[in-house]
Amino acid sequence: MPSLLEIKDLHATVGGQEILRGLTLTVEAGEVHAVMGPNGSGKSTLAHVLAGRPGYAVTKGEIRLQGKDLLEMSTEARACEGVFLGLQYPVEIPGVSNMYFLKAALNAIRSHRGETELDAIEFLKIAREKAKLLEMNENLLQRAVNVGFSGGEKKRNEIFQMALLNPTLAVLDETDSGLDIDALRIVSDGINALRSETRAILLITHYQRLLEYIVPDKVHVLSEGRIVKTGGKELALELEKSGYADFEKKDAAAMTASA
């Protein structure tokens, strides 16, 4: 059985600048991995490259999802194959209701899987269930996608979407930022409920606190476009105390040494 996610020696550029520089990472089904690292180290870039965002050019390396070549696929094909990106900054879309958007998304994915499309009533039933799970106000479903949502509501909406779309690989980019303490607990509970033997979750975060709620199987430190350290959940605690300074220096030293 191939790993659920396998990233090998990934190099990617944005705006002509190399941001990911030889990133290697493997995640097995059922696992939750946390990715931490200083601002600008490339965490969101990794998330976007996984989702296939235009403008992010992979110059070297490979990404496999359950053995399939992800880089061959369009953005929407990846989503249909089970990649979900919870955005650090969810996008506002005036004029399109959350319901309409999500029904379109779910039906696109269902028809890709060869399942029947849901009508409005069937969809509403499922959507209500999932909204309850995240204690999400139902009127947010009727409103335009993320328009006028508070920061916390936007993040909750992302996890609500994840719950609806049932991804194989969920990449959650700083889902915890902007959440108050209660919302953090609710969203974490929601994510925990979505842990499953057939799914992997990549959790990008700056805060150890999230990892108290969602206990990861592994923690990676990303610095200057590479994974520079991998450990268990205790690594997050260590980072909380000492910061990233050590890694950045080591990394710089390593680069000078190899130069």
Ligand X SMILES: Nc1ncnc2c1ncn2[C@@H]1O[C@H](COP(=O)(O)OP(=O)(O)OP(=O)(O)O)[C@@H](O)[C@H]1O
Q: What are phi and psi of 52, to 5 degrees?
A: 85, 45
103 binds, among another protein, Mg ion, ligand X, none (CB under 5 to 8 A by kind): another protein
The number of beta carbons lying within 10 Å of the beta carbon of residue 183 is 19
Nearest CA to 201 among 166, 239, 156?
Answer: 166
Is 205 a binding residue for ligand X by CB under 6 A? The answer is no
Calculate the alpha carbon distances from 34 to 27, 156, 219 in Å.
11, 19, 5
Site string for another protein, 112-151 (x = CB under 8 A): x--------------------------------x------
210 binds, among another protein, ligand X, Mg ion, none (CB under 5 to 8 A by kind): none
CB of 233 to ligand X, least distance (A): 20
Residues 6+ apart with CB under 8 A from 87: 158, 173
Distance of alpha carbon 234 from alpha carbon 212, whole angstroms: 10
CB of 180 to ligand X, least distance (A): 20
Residue in 79, 131, 134, 183 binding another protein, rule: CB under 8 A: 79
Is 107 a binding residue for another protein by CB under 8 A? The answer is yes
Paired strand residues for 226: 223
Burial of 176 (0-12, 13-18, 19+ CB in 10 A): buried
Could you say which residues in the range 70-99 bind ligand X, by CB under 6 A? 88
Place of tokens 């303490």: 181
Is 44 a binding residue for Mg ion by CB under 5 A? The answer is yes
Could you say which residues in the range 63-122 bind Mg ion, by CB under 5 A? 88
Binding site for ligand X (CB under 6 A): 14-15, 17, 19, 37, 39-45, 88
Binding site for another protein (CB under 8 A): 51-54, 74-76, 78-80, 84-85, 87, 90-91, 93-96, 100-109, 112, 145, 161, 165
